[in-house]
Amino acid sequence: MNENIRNIFECLHKTDDDEYFETMLEANNFKLERIISNGQITPCGQWYDQERDEWVVLLTGAAVIMFEDEAEPIIMKPGDYINIPAHKRHRVEWTDQSQKTVWLALHYSLS
């Protein structure tokens, strides 16, 4: 087997309790990471406020994202993706507890 080939769904069993973050590829202006959630959410009252833009796609499971300045949450299912501009405050309100929620997140800056 070619050791350069990996599978996005490998090692899911290692994340039974904790949320798992893995940097898959990184350069000066971007970082691609795999995130595996098991029902984790952003703690109450906390918001992500990131320095770089973030494009995220949901591969398995389900999630709900909330933006601080929007009334309606975004419900995500497999195949859904969203672009989050830098400093747009957001949080994860819910992730599926009955199965792994696998995300790919691309953190990038165009300048």
Domains of the chain: 16-108 (2.60.120.10)
pLDDT for 1 beyond 70 = no
Q: Which two tokens stand for residue 106?
A: 């691309």
- 55 burial type by CB count under 10 A (0-12 exposed, 13-18 middle, 19+ buried): middle
Q: Which region holds residue 97: left if phi is over 0, alpha if psi is between -120 and 50, else beta? A: alpha
pLDDT tens, 48-76?
A: 999 999 999 999 999 999 999 999 999 99
The mean pLDDT of the chain is 92
At 14 the pLDDT is 63
Q: Which two tokens stand for residue 88?
A: 């747009």
